[in-house]
Structure 1
Amino acid sequence: MKTTDEMRTLFDKWAKGQKRVAGSGEKIPDRFITDDKTMIQWRTESDSGGATIDIFPSNPKSRAERHLKVHLPIKKK
């Protein structure tokens, strides 16, 4: 992925047909729960810069799997 639009298309694909739940204002406007209780959300901004897709698996196998993130590469200054 090279653009936020491409990332948003991926998020929309993952969210399609899933249960929409309340977001958290402007920063997290879209949040969905999948059939297996995994939560995915669209975050408009992050500390790493730009939009992020957050994934919270319902049954993580390790600490590293508790919160997965999809974002564009950080632009070098």
Structure 2
Amino acid sequence: MAKCLFCSEHEAPGSAQPILEGCGPIDHPDPTSALSFYTLLHRVIMWWFLRHIGVLPTPDAPSDIMDDLRQMATR
């Protein structure tokens, strides 16, 4: 679910909430925290992949994905 929301938000900002509403209740004791954790995980993996294939030439190269990670860290 988190990867779906991550990709959907990237392509269509604001789409996560309607997707969540359409899925109904999530069978997890703390779905918000679980989705936040897995979203963080997917963003880190995407950052690594972009570094690995050379899209991001250096670890500190400007990128939306790093901006998103920094924003998540401040929450």
Tell me which interval the TM-score lies in, with the shorter structure as reference length: under 0.3
- Larger relative contact order, structure 1 or 2 (CA cutoff 8 Å, min sep 6): 2
The TM-score with structure 1 as length reference comes to: 0.26
TM score, norm. by length of structure 2:
0.27
Higher radius of gyration, 1 or 2? 2
**Which is richer in strand?**
1
Structure with the larger helix share: 2
